[in-house]
Copies of this chain bind each other. A is one copy, B any other.
Amino acid sequence: MKNENVRRMPNIQTQFGKSVRRLRFKRDLSQEALADLAGLHATYIGRIERGRQNISLTNIGKIARALKVKPGELFKGVH
């Protein structure tokens, strides 16, 4: 049960990042390999996984595609 303030939204980036990392491990990909597949930078993937990046919808789509999942799959465990 989350009850944090809507404006602060502290958790979604962290939760999303963990989800990306979990799926990347599942595919046995390095951050660099995922970055290549998604057409993004490895440092950017690192920032996402550490919950430091407020990623955009189109980049969510690129990562989902690179991981061969639907975008919604990246939101499992994100509340």
Q: Footprint of B on A, CB under 8 Å?
A: 1-2, 4, 6-7, 9, 12-13, 16, 38-39, 54-58, 60-62, 65-66, 70-72, 75-76, 78-79
A12 to B56, CA, bound (A): 11
Contacts of A66 in B (CB 8 A): 6
Interface pair A55/B54, CB less than 8 Å apart: no
Interface pair B60/A57, CB less than 8 Å apart: yes
Which of B7, B56, B72 lies in contact with A78, CB distance below 8 A? Answer: B72
Known: A6-B66, A70-B75. 20 other contacts (CB 8 A): A1-B56, A6-B38, A6-B62, A6-B65, A7-B39, A9-B61, A9-B62, A12-B71, A13-B57, A16-B57, A54-B56, A54-B58, A56-B56, A70-B78, A70-B79, A71-B75, A72-B72, A72-B76, A72-B78, A75-B75
